Amino acid sequence: MATSRALFMAIFVFAIAFHSSVVSANFRKSMYFNWGAQHSSISGNGDDAQLVLDQTSGSGIQSKRAFLFGSIEMLIKLVPGNSAGTVTAYYLSSTGAKHDEIDFEFLGNSTGEPYTVHTNIFTQGQGNREQQFQLWFDPTASYHNYTIHWNPTEVVWYVDSIPIRVFRNYQSEGIGYPNQQGMRVYSSLWNADNWATRGGLVKIDWTAAPFVANYRRFRARACKWNGPVSIIQCALPTRPNWWTSPVYKQLTTSQQGQLKWVRDNHMIYNYCTDVKRFKGQMAPECSKPQY
């Protein structure tokens, strides 16, 4: 009995210590500019940031810490007007040739055309899992919430709390899943006119520069990465790990309806249906439930 009590107390103390590793962050405290700092700024109490692209350089920002599981969210107001050729990227990534990565990329457009949201996921350096959507609102007129939520069961991309994409964990069937490496948060504004708009046919109009993307209220409600031990710690199904609770293991019926609405009305590309590109050898997860 004494041994059992001691074990319980050890687990309880560990859980409390682990709970304290869940962080809520802002730009000033938790991120830094990794390139183009002369084009960047953080203002207010650290809750607002701005990235700029002109003919001299773009700019980028990244988190000081890496995370494994939880929710990363950002309010973003995208480049207005003729943003063709520009890309505003917002993503999570580890490092190295066999890195994991979860992407939002907002592809610029000619004035009056909708923005394209390009999503992708890499596991152990393997990507080619692109899905693209056109937003159902003007993302340049005001701030909108873009959230990446991931846990041991699934990765979900949200726009204003509406799920637009799900990638579930089928690792037991030999399909890669990003659960072995801590990932930092990145965002950048850069020149991608060799591919971003109509496959590179529409180039950047530099007379419209500088191009500006605005950010607000970065939050990382996520498990801090402290090396390989975090693979176990961050996945524990204990009460402090809210992201491993049953409610986050699968979309609700209402959320599944929202996902279907987005896919039916706003999806413009899905790697799982591109038979020509993959010569009929479709990724194995494409035949699995994606919610």
* Domains of the chain, residue spans: 23-287
What CA–CA distance (Å, rounded) separates 290 from 167? 6
Q: What is the pLDDT of residue 24?
A: 55
What CA–CA distance (Å, rounded) separates 287 from 228? 31
Residues 182/230, Cβ–Cβ less than 8 Å: yes
Predicted confidence band of residue 239 (pLDDT cuts 50, 70, 90): low
The number of CA neighbours under 13 Å toward the Cβ of 254 is: 3
**Secondary structure (3-state) at 89:** strand
**Which residues, 6+ apart, have CB-to-CB distance to 273 below 8 Å?**
none
Indicate if the alpha-carbon torsion angle 251, 252, 256, 261 is positive or negative. Answer: negative
User: pLDDT for 29-70, tens place per residue?
Assistant: 999 999 999 999 999 889 999 999 999 999 999 999 999 999
Residue 287 identity: S
**Secondary structure (3-state) at 80:** coil
What CA–CA distance (Å, rounded) separates 288 from 172? 13
| Confidence check: pLDDT of 113 > 90 | no
Cα distances from 88 to residues 186, 214, 253, 259, in angstroms, run 11, 10, 32, 23
Cα distances from 263 to residues 30, 41, 141, 157, 266, in angstroms, run 34, 36, 24, 13, 6
Predicted confidence band of residue 26 (pLDDT cuts 50, 70, 90): confident
Residues 170/243, Cβ–Cβ less than 8 Å: no
Residues 291/166, Cβ–Cβ less than 8 Å: yes
| Confidence check: pLDDT of 13 > 70 | no
Catalytic residues: 101, 105
| Confidence check: pLDDT of 95 > 80 | yes
Give CA 193 to chain center in angstroms: 22
Q: What is the pLDDT of residue 78?
A: 97
User: pLDDT for 216-234, tens place per residue?
Assistant: 999 999 999 999 999 999 9
| Confidence check: pLDDT of 147 > 60 | yes
CA dihedral angle for residue 72, residue 77, residue 83, residue 87, rounded to 10 degrees: -10
> Would you say domain 23-287 falls under CATH 3.30.360.10?
no
**Secondary structure (3-state) at 187:** strand
Mean pLDDT of 255-276: 97
What CA–CA distance (Å, rounded) separates 189 from 261? 29
CA dihedral angle for residue 271, residue 274, residue 276, residue 277, rounded to 10 degrees: -10
Mean pLDDT of 235-257: 88
Percent of the chain with pLDDT over 70: 91
pTM, two decimal places: 0.91
What CA–CA distance (Å, rounded) separates 52 from 41? 9
